[in-house]
């Protein structure tokens, strides 16, 4: 058995866990549709980045093998086989489970023949008014070469034959479905129903009018996925912003890496498309239903059926101590931890807005990795630039957000903000905001926000993240040094108490793991609990194996990729791994070390992956406030470890299994549902059930020294 689980194998397993949520009848029906759409979107990114990268390496002549001697070609073949099976499972879920259940619930996706006269008339009118003016039908012949099909654009291929006698054989027609139009056309519905028609079905129905003089022999919807990696040499670029903008244009035209087409497609259509896009048969995915299941997200968002969705909840607002004059006064005496989305993200927005409007704040520095189109934080920063020094580090190469980040950067500069793009060769992935304020007591202080998630109020509603607001002078001084590193490449040998990638983070994590190993060897309390999105860094994994062999109890909560193989006798028998897939995307990173009884907790923006540790600027920060440490340990981590409904456990074989289903002896417990109840005042940490033998880890008592109040 290999010491490591393959990266791609592990990622595909993660997407299967998301698909399980679409298959689970215990989830609300439209939420299941959303989970299915997410699996399709996830697979798109995997194909256009990971598969494209493997193909590129093969074409470039790389011949490396993994630890078991598997070549790149063999690996790609296995992944393709796995993906084909996964796509089949997606369509079984849609056709056999979700579609019938939706129809029973009165949400109907209809074929033309199943529509009544009123619905057909409405659809035809919509086509003539909104659709037909945007269509450009093309026939492939010597005068009309194959059109440049854009990345992931939904198209219709038609096999055509001239009606005029004596003409040549069949030709191919292509119609690109405009992205400006809704993927689902709402139809007039009867009482108790919400009816839709797929846009491509409507266009196919009217195809004859676009190809007058032709007989349509066959037609099928298809979609091409292209290589979406950005290829540019930053060190050769005089202007990084312009270089990224140019490469975004090229991305839309990258080499094809996948063809999706309806299973009913005529073999001649498939062959012509495959030859045009220069694809092997293994790169053709025949779908038993609508091409591009990610567009089912529109079905979720457009259908006003709250009874088929998760019940809404109101996040807990940040409440100040009654003695505090404002948030800054509060932070002079204690740190504040926000657990999103259960604690409202308005607390973070308010921190930035208060800084923008407070005349005593003289400087704001912030990093931006991903933002939202209507960001209140952006507005606050542009407002602040009118009266104070504002510096923003914008990461231009945040994958698939490059175009929006370019717009942000230009708009910020136009407003008077000093905009930087970080360090050449490194993505700026840390989440930092630092303020300088002349306080009423005559002291100039720094106030900081450090987070595990992006400054994006939109995604903060469904990503779980942690935010720390603090005026700790050591932490904020280190934040200042990090900003100097980002804007001037001014390196320091020590950023403590912060851990900073690529400078100190990797070696610090390994040192912390080794310290637990030494504690265990000396008979002192030793334990590690680490929560993250992905675990892939070999050095970290080997350090964890060594700690396990020394007797350290290690519990890992890893949402996605995990290359560590747990539970192997003599190697990792003291390591347990769980993954939680639920209503919210688990995104927070938390690292707990028992440290012989002097417990330490760190949070931050970094996963245990090579890219986070060596190819990005990341910041991991300590939790120094005893009450916050207790909350993270006894409430947040304890609940995640006790989850027996949304958690899956990774076995040594690499297979994830659900925890033993709840029975009469043990009630079901969902950590995310529990956090909602806590936010609504309906539960307390005392309601967390004990961890059973079938679940990884055991709760440990919390006892960190309390940090003194700051004056």
Chain-centre distance for alpha carbon 169: 48
Measure the CA dihedral 640/642/643/645, to 10°.
180
CB half-sphere exposure, 411, CA atoms < 13 A: 15
- Answer yes or no: are the C-beta atoms of 86 and 15 closer than 8 Å: yes
Residue 562 is given by DSSP the state B
Residues near 11 by beta carbon (within 8 Å), at least 6 away in sequence: 46, 50, 560, 561
How far apart (Å, rounded) are the C-alpha atoms in residues 581 and 371? 24
Residues near 584 by beta carbon (within 8 Å), at least 6 away in sequence: 341, 462, 463, 464, 672
> Which tokens in the block code for residue 35?
């989970």
Omega before 592 cis (within 30°)? Answer: no
- Answer yes or no: are the C-beta atoms of 469 and 334 closer than 8 Å: no
233 torsion bin: left (phi>0), alpha (psi -120 to 50), beta (else): beta
How far apart (Å, rounded) are the C-alpha atoms in residues 5 and 7? 6
Residues near 36 by beta carbon (within 8 Å), at least 6 away in sequence: 19, 22, 90, 93, 94, 98, 293, 296
Beta pairing partners, 618: 501
> Which tokens in the block code for residue 430?
């840390």
Burial class (CB within 10 angstroms; exposed 0-12, middle 13-18, buried 19+) of 232: middle
CB atoms within 10 A of CB 120: 16
Q: Which of 487, 354, 488 is nearest to 417 (CA)?
A: 487
Residues near 229 by beta carbon (within 8 Å), at least 6 away in sequence: 48, 49, 52, 53, 56, 251, 254
Omega before 502 cis (within 30°)? Answer: yes
How far apart (Å, rounded) are the C-alpha atoms in residues 698 and 555? 9
Helix (H, G, I), strand (E, B) or coil at 443: coil
How far apart (Å, rounded) are the C-alpha atoms in residues 604 and 622? 9
Measure the CA dihedral 85/89/95/101, to 10°.
180
Query: In 3-state terms, the chain is what percent helix, strand and coil (to 5)?
Result: 40, 25, 40
Question: Active-site residues: which are they?
Answer: 429
How far apart (Å, rounded) are the C-alpha atoms in residues 40 and 111? 22
- Answer yes or no: are the C-beta atoms of 140 and 173 closer than 8 Å: yes
Bridge-based pairing of strands 527-532 and 589-593 is: antiparallel
How far apart (Å, rounded) are the C-alpha atoms in residues 82 and 101? 27
CB atoms within 10 A of CB 496: 13
Q: Which of 627, 545, 563, 629 is nearest to 591 (CA)?
A: 629
What does residue 418 show for φ and ψ, rounded to 5 degrees? -80, 115
């Amino acid at each position: 058995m290999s010491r490591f689980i393959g990266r791609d194998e592990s990622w595909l397993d993660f997407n299967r866990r998301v698909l399980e949520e679409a298959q689970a009848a215990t989830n609300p029906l439209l939420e299941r549709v959303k989970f299915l759409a997410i699996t399709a979107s996830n697979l798109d990114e995997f194909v256009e980045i990971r598969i494209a990268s493997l193909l590129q390496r093969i074409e470039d002549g790389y011949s490396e093998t993994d630890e078991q001697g598997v070549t790149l070609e063999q690996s790609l073949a296995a992944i393709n086989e796995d993906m084909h099976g996964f796509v089949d499972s997606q369509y079984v879920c849609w056709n056999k489970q979700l579609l019938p259940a939706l129809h029973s619930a009165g949400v109907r996706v209809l074929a033309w023949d199943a529509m009544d006269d009123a619905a057909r008339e409405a659809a035809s009118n919509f086509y003539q008014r909104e659709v037909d003016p945007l269509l450009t039908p093309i026939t492939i012949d010597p005068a009309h070469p194959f059109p440049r099909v854009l990345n992931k654009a939904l198209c219709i291929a038609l096999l055509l034959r001239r009606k005029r006698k004596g003409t040549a054989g069949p030709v191919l027609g292509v119609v690109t479905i405009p992205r400006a139009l809704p993927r689902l056309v709402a139809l007039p519905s009867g009482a108790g129903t919400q009816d839709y028609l797929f846009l491509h079905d409507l266009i196919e129905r009217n195809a004859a009018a676009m190809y007058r003089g032709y007989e349509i022999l066959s037609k099928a919807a298809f979609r091409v996925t292209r290589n979406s990696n950005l290829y540019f040499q930053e060190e050769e670029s005089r202007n990084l912003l312009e270089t990224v903008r140019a490469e975004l244009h090229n991305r839309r035209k990258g080499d094809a890496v996948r063809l999706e087409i309806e299973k009913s497609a005529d073999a001649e259509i498939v062959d012509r498309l495959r030859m045009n896009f220069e694809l092997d048969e293994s790169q053709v995915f025949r779908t038993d239903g609508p091409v591009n299941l990610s567009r089912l997200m529109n079905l979720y968002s457009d259908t006003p059926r709250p009874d088929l969705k998760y019940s809404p909840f109101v996040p807990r607002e940040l409440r100040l101590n009654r003695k505090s004059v404002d948030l800054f006064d509060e932070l002079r005496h204690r740190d504040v931890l926000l657990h999103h989305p259960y604690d409202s993200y308005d607390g973070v927005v308010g921190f930035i807005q208060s800084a923008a409007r407070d005349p005593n704040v003289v400087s704001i520095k912030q990093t931006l990795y991903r933002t939202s189109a209507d960001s209140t934080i952006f507005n606050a920063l542009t407002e602040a630039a009118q009266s104070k020094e504002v510096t923003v580090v914008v990461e231009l190469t945040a994958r698939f957000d490059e175009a929006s980040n370019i717009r942000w950067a230009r708009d910020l500069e136009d407003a008077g903000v000093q905009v930087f793009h970080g360090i050449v060769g490194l993505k700026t992935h840390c989440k930092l905001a630092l303020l300088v304020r002349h306080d009423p007591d005559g002291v100039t202080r720094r106030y900081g926000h450090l987070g595990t998630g992006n400054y994006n109020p939109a995604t903060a509603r469904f990503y779980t993240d942690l935010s720390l607001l603090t005026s700790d002078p050591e932490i904020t001084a280190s934040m200042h040094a990090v900003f100097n590193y980002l804007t001037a490449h001014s390196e320091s040998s020590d950023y403590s108490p912060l851990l900073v990638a690529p400078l100190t983070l990797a070696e610090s994590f390994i040192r912390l793991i080794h310290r637990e190993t030494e504690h265990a060897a000396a008979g002192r309390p030793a334990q590690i609990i680490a929560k993250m999105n992905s675990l892939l860094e070999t050095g970290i994994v080997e350090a964890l194996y060594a700690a396990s062999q020394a007797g350290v109890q290690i519990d890992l909560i890893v949402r996605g990729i995990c290359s560590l193989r747990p539970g192997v006798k003599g190697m990792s028998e003291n390591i347990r791994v769980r993954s939680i897939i639920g209503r919210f995307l688990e995104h927070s990173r938390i690292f707990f070390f028992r440290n012989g009884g002097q417990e330490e907790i760190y949070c931050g923006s970094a996963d245990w992956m090579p890219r986070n540790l060596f190819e990005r600027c990341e910041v991991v920060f300590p939790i120094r406030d005893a009450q916050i440490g207790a909350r993270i340990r006894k409430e947040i981590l304890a609940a995640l470890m006790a989850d027996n409904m949304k958690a899956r456990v990774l076995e040594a074989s690499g297979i994830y299994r659900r925890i033993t289903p709840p029975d009469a002896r043990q009630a079901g417990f969902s950590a995310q549902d529990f956090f909602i109840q806590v936010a609504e005042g309906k539960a307390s940490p005392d309601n967390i059930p004990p961890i059973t033998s079938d679940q990884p880890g055991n709760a440990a008592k919390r006892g960190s020294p309390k940090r003194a109040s700051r004056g």
